[in-house]
Structure 1
Amino acid sequence: MSDQSFVATQDAVMVCDDVCKTYNEAGNEVEVLRSVSLSVGAGERIAIIGSSGSGKSTLLNMLGGLEGPTSGSVTVGGEVLYQTSEKRRSEIRNRMLGFVYQFHHLLPEFTAVENVAIPLMLAKQSPAQAADKAKVLLEKVGLSHRLSHKPAQLSGGERQRVAIARALVTEPACVLMDEPTGNLDRQTAAEIQALMSQLNQDLNTSFIIVTHDPDLAKKMDRIFELTDGGLVEITNH
Structure 2
Amino acid sequence: MRPSTSPAADSQEQGNATFALMCSDLRKHYDQGPAVIDVLRGIELTLERGERLAIVGSSGSGKSTLLNLIGGLDTPDQGEVRLLGKPFSSCGDNQRGKLRNQHLGFVYQFHHLLGEFTALENVAMPQLIAGVSKRQALEEAAVWLGRVGLSERVEHKPAELSGGERQRVAIARALVNKPACVLMDEPTGNLDRQTADSIQSLLAELSDSLSTSFIIVTHDERLARSMDRVLVLQDGLLQPQTDGISKTASQEAGVEVNNG
How high is the TM-score relative to the length of structure 1?
A: 0.94
The answer as to whether partners of 1:134 and 1:169 remain within 8 angstroms in 2 is yes
8 Å Cα contact 2:18/2:84 also seen in 1:
no
Question: Over the residues paired in the alignment, what is the CA RMSD in angstroms?
Answer: 1.3
Are the equivalent residues in 2 in contact too, given 1:11–1:41 (CA < 8 A)?
yes
Give the corresponding residue for 1:5. Answer: none
Deviations 1:77-123 (A, max 9, x none): 11112322111111111111000000010111111100000110111
Alpha-carbon distance between aligned partners in 2 of 1:121 and 1:133, rounded to the nearest angstrom: 11
Tell me if 1:209 matches 2:216.
yes
Q: Which secondary structure state, in structure 1, belongs to the residue aligned with residue 128 of structure 2? A: helix
2:193 to 180, 186, 199: 186
Match of 2:61 among 30, 54, 72: 54
Secondary structure of 2:113 counterpart = coil
Matched residue pairs, number?
Answer: 229
Q: Which residue of 1 aligns with 2:152?
A: 145
Q: 1:119 aligns with which of 120, 126, 137?
A: 126
Q: Structure 2: any 5+ residue segments left out of the alignment? A: 1-15, 245-260
The question of 1:19 aligning with 2:40 is answered no
> 1:235, CA displacement in angstroms?
4.2
Measure, in 2, the Cα distance between the counterparts of 1:236 and 1:124. Answer: 46
* 1:223–1:236 CA contact under 8 A, matched in 2: no
* Worse-matched range after superposition: 79-88 or 100-109: 79-88
Q: Paired residue for 1:71?
A: 78
Distance 1:49 1:114 in 2: 33
SS in 2 for 1:188: helix
Q: Aligned to 1:41, which of 20, 45, 48?
A: 48
Amino acid at match of 1:161: R
| Shift in Å, 1:236 | 8.0
- In 2, the alpha carbon distance for the partners of 1:12 and 1:236 equals 27
1:124/1:30 Cα in 2 relative to 1: closer, same or farther (>3 Å)?
Answer: same
Structure 1: distance between partners of 2:227 and 2:89: 28
* Structure 1 match to 2:110: 103
Q: Which residue matches 2:7?
A: none
Corresponding residue SS for 1:132: helix
Equivalent of 1:195, from 202, 207, 210? 202
**Partner in structure 1 of residue 252 of structure 2:** none
Query: 2: CA distance between counterparts of 1:190 and 1:14?
Result: 27
Q: C-alpha separation between the residues in 2 aligned to 1:236 and 1:196?
A: 24
* Ranges of 4+ aligned residues in structure 1 off by more than 4 Å: none
Which residue in 2 is equivalent to 1:132? Answer: 139
Alignment partners' CA distance in 2, 1:137 and 1:43: 19
Deviation at 1:10, TM superposition (A): 5.1
Q: 1:236 to 1:203 in 2, by over 3 A?
A: farther
Q: What secondary structure is seen at the aligned counterpart in 1 of 2:189?
A: coil
Q: C-alpha separation between the residues in 1 aligned to 2:31 and 2:243?
A: 36
